[in-house]
Amino acid sequence: MRASMAANGSGERCKGVSCMWGDPSGLLGGVALTAMAIAGGGQNKAALDLLSPRPGDSIIELGCGPGMGVRAALKRVGRQGFVAGIDQSATAAHYAAHAVHGACLEGRAAIMRAEAADLPFRDSMFDRAFAVNSFQFWSDPARALREIARVLAPGGRLVITQRAAGHDNATNFAGAARGMERIGQATALLKAQGWRIVDERCVQDGPRLLAVSVLAERPA
Ligand SMILES: C[S@@+](CC[C@H](N)C(=O)[O-])C[C@H]1O[C@@H](n2cnc3c(N)ncnc32)[C@H](O)[C@@H]1O
């Protein structure tokens, strides 16, 4: 598998199997995208519940993977709304476009291969933005957050959600053990850029910690 630009929070290029999650491509990438589509429902729901989109809203998902988050967001915004999904991986963008092709044909959704730090959209185009299990791979998260602020309208809100596990959870599936730490890093960067932290939330699945999120409003 090729070396990738995806970085694991440290700015280092990921290599080999870890790229399955951070920049999926080829056969292994396809396996990872299928696993994300099956296992990511709880985190997508946690992110969208906190984001509270309104009917008719325009939303962007950063690092949309197989497109399940875009699909769930489309249900929340209704037929008058619009949802864009971007992903740096061509394979992921292909999967996502397939997942929401009907909405794309109707002009209610768009999937693009793009970097979170270089968004192909005009200023103030979106009401809401979200990223699920993606932030830890951004090679330049500070630049990405400035880009997200640029494409959000005044008062626009962003949710960053990470899969999480409590100390009592044995699983470290998809880096769950570091979910809390990653949200801490995101929150610190958001504050440094003048975003207003509106809420921070943990979601349980029975006794298990499932997701941690931060909700922030873009700098005025
Ligand atoms: C673990 S997957 C999560 C996908 C989806 N959000 C979900 O929860 O099922 C991370 C995704 O983020 C994408 N990604 C990583 N870094 C990115 C960046 N800098 N810009 C855009 N997408 C990125 C990867 O290509 C991958 O598809």
What's the pLDDT band for 11 if we cut at 50, 70, 90?
Answer: very low
What average pLDDT score do residues 182-203 get?
A: 96
The C-alpha atoms of residue 211 and residue 220 are separated, in whole angstroms, by 28
What's the pLDDT band for 4 if we cut at 50, 70, 90?
Answer: very low
What's the pLDDT band for 173 if we cut at 50, 70, 90?
Answer: low
The pLDDT of residue 175 is 67
The pLDDT of residue 5 is 42
User: How many whole angstroms from its chain centre is CA 164?
Assistant: 15
Decide whether any atom of ligand 1 lies within 6 Å of the 63 Cβ.
Answer: yes
What average pLDDT score do residues 33-49 get?
A: 93
Top mean pLDDT of 27-31, 139-143, 171-175 is at 139-143
The pLDDT of residue 6 is 47
Decide whether any atom of ligand 1 lies within 6 Å of the 46 Cβ.
Answer: no
Best residue for ligand 1 mutational test, from 91, 134, 163, 182 (most atoms within 8 Å of Cβ)? 134
In this structure, how many other beta carbons lie within 10 angstroms of the beta carbon of residue 124?
14
In this model, does residue 10 exceed pLDDT 80? no
The pLDDT of residue 39 is 86
In this model, does residue 78 exceed pLDDT 70? yes
In this model, does residue 92 exceed pLDDT 80? yes
What's the pLDDT band for 178 if we cut at 50, 70, 90?
Answer: confident
In this model, does residue 121 exceed pLDDT 90? yes
Q: Top-level CATH class of 16-217?
A: alpha beta
DSSP symbols for the chain: ----S-B-SSSPBP-GGGHHHHS--HHHHHHHHHHHHHH-HHHHHHHHHHH-PPTT-EEEEES-TTSHHHHHHHHHH-TT-EEEEEES-HHHHHHHHHHTHHHHHTTSEEEEE-BTTB--S-TT-EEEEEEES-GGG-SSHHHHHHHHHHHEEEEEEEEEEEE---TT----GGGGGGHHHHHHHHHHHHHHTTPEEEEEEEEEETTEEEEEEEEEE---
Ligand 1 atom nearest the C-alpha of 61 is 6
Bridge-based pairing of strands 152-163 and 208-217 is antiparallel
Decide whether any atom of ligand 1 lies within 6 Å of the 65 Cβ.
Answer: yes
% of residues, the chain, pLDDT over 70 = 87
Residue with the smallest CA separation from ligand 1 atom 1 is 21
Ligand 1 atom nearest the C-alpha of 114 is 21
Ligand 1 atom nearest the C-alpha of 139 is 19
